[in-house]
Amino acid sequence: MPQNNETEIKKVGTHKQETWDWLKSLISALVIALLIREFVIQAFTIPTGSMESTMLVGDHLFVNKLSYGFKLPFTTKKILNWGEVKRDSIVVFLPPHEVDRVYVKRCKGLPGDTLEIKEKALFINKEAQVEPYKKHLDNNIFPESYTVRDNLKAFLVPKKGDLLEIKKEEICLAGQKVEDQNIAKLYALLISREGNVGESKSDGYYAGSARLEELTLAQLCAEILGKNGGKESFEHQVKEDYFFMMGDNRDNSADSRFWGFVPRERLIGRPVLVWMPLDRFGLPPK
């Protein structure tokens, strides 16, 4: 009888050890999966049609999060930057005007580039661009005074170290007044974001009850100057390199034309694989 008790104790001990070993394996696998998702590869889904026909609504992507640097765990703060962002690359990023959404667009403007949109045609550094991937579903062409979708006067994509000056109702870049109000507003939004003007809420950044993007240029300038002691003018040195992102479905894309430049720190990575749906499985389109 004592031998049976001893056997039963051994069986219980063995069972507990097996359970503990299984739990350790499960925990280790979960930790490894979490680390891979946080630092190396993460799955994303295309939510809108702004990149059609290159990428479709519902496409599931694996994104290489080491494409452009290394960030602090579980934050958006980059501690190391590497990897060149190439023009026309498809990039996954955190948009500057949203708190917790992820966008997928094509990088069209690099730091220091001059861009211009004339009747839907894009010019970079005065050269007309050949863009076989883009499409236009609306034949109407609207003036810039109505929308920046089809026309936008020449402007400079900011780079680290550029000097912007804010006055009562105007923005100056490198000592020159930015005459175009739409472009000046994009620069004002950049200053607002780098200077932490506005309150972060679940669906964006606000000044009072209005999103920063809804404010006029004069209102943005007033918010910036108020944040900096109510001065009549204020100089701001750009802290990061910036990029201009556009969707391939140009007439139906909310992109940098409307909400501004994307700082390098908010770049997540590049798509490396479309894994769902199965009929689209493979390397992402160029």
Q: Which residues are catalytic?
A: 50, 105
For residues 87 and 258, give the distance between their C-alpha atoms in angstroms, rounded to a whole number: 20
CA separation, residue 156 to residues 55, 70, 110, 119, 260 (Å): 28, 28, 9, 19, 12
For residues 228 and 231, give the distance between their C-alpha atoms in angstroms, rounded to a whole number: 7
How many residues appear in the chain? 286
Q: Are strands 90-93 and 267-276 parallel, antiparallel or unpaired?
A: antiparallel
CA separation, residue 243 to residues 113, 175, 186, 255, 262 (Å): 9, 22, 12, 11, 5
Whether residue 136 contacts residue 188, with contact meaning beta carbons closer than 8 Å, is answered with no
**Coil/strand/helix, residue 154:** strand
Q: How far is CA 155 from the centre of its chain?
A: 20
Q: Which amino acid is at 243?
A: F
For residues 190 and 262, give the distance between their C-alpha atoms in angstroms, rounded to a whole number: 9
> In sequence order, which ranges of 40-138 are alpha helices (DSSP H)?
none
Identify the CA nearest to 150 among candidates 138, 160, 141.
Answer: 141
For residues 109 and 125, give the distance between their C-alpha atoms in angstroms, rounded to a whole number: 10
